[in-house]
Amino acid sequence: MGCGRVGSALATAMSDRGHDVVVIDRDETAFRRLGEDFSGRTVTGVGFDREVLGEAGIDACDAFAAVSSGDNSNIISARVARETFGVERVVARIYDAKRAAVFERIGIPTVATVPWTTERFVAALGEISTTPVWHDPSGSLVMAVLDFHESWVGTDCAKFQDLTGARVAFLFRMGQTVLPDPRTVIQTEDVLYVATLAANVDNARAVAGAQMPRE
C-alpha cells in the first residue's frame, strides 16, 4: 500500500524476485513509478478500505507492506490486514518513533524511517549512538552500535562476540557496509552494529568500551 519512491522500489524488488505483487495507491498517476516492465497488478483506492483490499486479493496474500507517506494510513491499513484478514507478515513504515514503539508492542514490525536514517548520519559523522537502532516486537532482542576501546583493534569478531555476548551483525568500514564472518578483524575506524539480548546491552557496552580482557 503506497506507490511513492519506497513503495514502488519495494514492489519492483519483490516482483523481480518472482513474487506476485499488487500495489494499492489512491493516486493512479503514482503507478508510473513502477515502469513499463512491472509485471504485477495495480489497484486505485484507499489502502485501508476493505473493498479495495479485497479487490487487491488480500484474502490470498502472504505479506502486506504499508509504505504510504502517512503514519495514520499505514497504521490503520496494517492493522486491518493483520486483524481483519489475518495476513501473517505485515510491516508498516512509520515516521514517528514513539508511534513505532507502540506499534511494535502489538506485534506488527515497523520501519521507523527517521530514527534509522538519523543513526546512519550519526555513524557517518563519526559519532556513536547509545540508543538501540532496532528491537524485535517483544523488546527482548536489540540491535545497537557499540563503541569499542582501541585495544580491541586487531581482534577478530569471534573473540569480540565471545567476550561481549553481542553478535556483530554488520559494520561500516570506510563508507562501506561489511557483513563480517568470525575471522573478520576489527579495525580502528569501524562502526560496529551488534545484535544482542536487551538485558545484555549495558554489559556489552561496558566490556567493549574497556581494555580488552587478557587471557
What would the grid cell of residue 197 be?
Answer: 539480548
DSSP of 176-201: EEE---TTPBP-TT-EEEEEEEGGGH
Give the model's pLDDT for residue 95.
78
Residue pair 63/89 in contact by the 8 Å Cβ criterion: yes
Query: Is the full-model pTM beyond 0.85?
Result: no
pLDDT of residue 56 exceeding 90: yes
Phi then psi for residue 72, to 5 deg, are -60, -45
133-164 per-position pLDDT tens digit: 666 666 688 888 888 999 999 999 999 999 99
* Burial readout 175-200 (b: 16 or more C-beta within 10 A, e: otherwise): eeeeebeeebebeeebbbbbbbeeeb
106-140 per-position pLDDT tens digit: 667 667 666 666 665 555 555 555 566 666 666 68
What would the grid cell of residue 127 be?
Answer: 559519532
Distance CA 131, CA 111 (A): 16
Taken in order of first residue, the domains within the chain and their CATH numbers are: 5-116 (3.40.50.720), 128-209 (3.30.70.1450)
Angle at CA of residue 106, ends 20 and 112, nearest 5°: 65
